[in-house]
Amino acid sequence: MSSIEIKNLVKIYNGSAIQVKAVNEVSLSIEQGEFTAIVGPSGSGKTTLLNLIGGLDVPTSGSIIVDKTDLSTLSRKQRVDYRLYNIGFVFQAYNLIPVLTARENVSFILEMQGVPKAKIADRAREILEQVGLGERMNSRPNQLSGGQQQRVAVARALASKPKYVIADEPTANLDTKSTENLLDIMEELNRKENITFLFSTHDQRVVNKARRIIVLEDGKIVKDQRKE
C-alpha cells in the first residue's frame, strides 16, 4: 500500500489580475522508501506540490492521504504536528538560525518534539558525525561553507528520523563536490533507514541519483518513470 496517495490535487493562487493553477489535477502514489526527483521548468508546480505534501500549504481541491490520514481534514495545529513529527525539510536557502551553532540548529527540532535533553545531545552529535561535521558542531552558520551549511540542514531534517524528507532544490547553491557528498549521504540514509526522499530539482546530478523521475509541466504530470 502507498504511504502517500494523492488524488485529483489542485492548487489555485488568485492574484490581483490573474488566477494561476499551480497544481492541476495531479494524481500520484508514493511508496515508503522512494528516492524520487520531481523535475520541470520554473513555474511548473514542483515547489507547490512539495509544499502541499509537506503540509506547508493546503490544496484548493483534491486529497493528500499520508499514512491513512487525509491532510485536508487537519486543523492548523494538527498540520503543525504533522510536519513536526513526520517531515524533514531541506530548503535551497538552508534556513539555519544564524545565532545558533550547528549542534543547536539540529537540536532545535528535537527540543520542539519534547525529546529529553540527554537524548538530544547524543542524537545531535550522532547525526552531525554522520554527515561529516562532527568537528564543526560548535560552529555557527557564518563560520561554515555553503556545502557545510546544507549538510547541517540535512542533519536537522534527519535528526528526528522522519519517515519523509522533502528537499526543495537542495543542491542549487552547491559546487559539484559538495553536491556529490550531500547526495551520497542522503542515498545512504534512504537505503539504511528506508526514509522516503522527495526532491524538486533542476540539477541533473540529483536526477541521475534518483530512482524515480516525475516530470511536471504547467502543474500536470507529463512523465513518471522508474529506473530499473
User: What are the start-end ranges of the H helices in 23-63?
Assistant: 46-53
Structural domain includes residue 139: yes
Query: What domain count does the chain have?
Result: 1
Closest CA to 119 of 128, 132, 131, 107: 107
pLDDT in tens, 106-117: 998 899 889 998
Structural domain includes residue 179: yes
pLDDT in tens, 135-164: 999 999 999 988 889 889 888 988 888 899
Bridge partners (DSSP) of residue 168 are 91, 200
Structural domain includes residue 49: yes
Structural domain includes residue 93: yes
Structural domain includes residue 47: yes
AA identity, residue 110? L
C-alpha cell of 64? Answer: 493528500
C-alpha cell of 11? Answer: 492548487
pLDDT in tens, 205-218: 999 999 999 999 99
Crossing angle for the helix pair 176-193 and 146-158, to the nearest 10 degrees: 10
CATH assignment of the domain containing 150: 3.40.50.300
Compute φ and ψ for 75, nearest 5 degrees. Answer: -75, 170
Closest CA to 163 of 85, 108, 60: 85
Structural domain includes residue 24: no
- The predicted model scores a pTM of 0.89
Domain span at 157 = 32-59+68-226
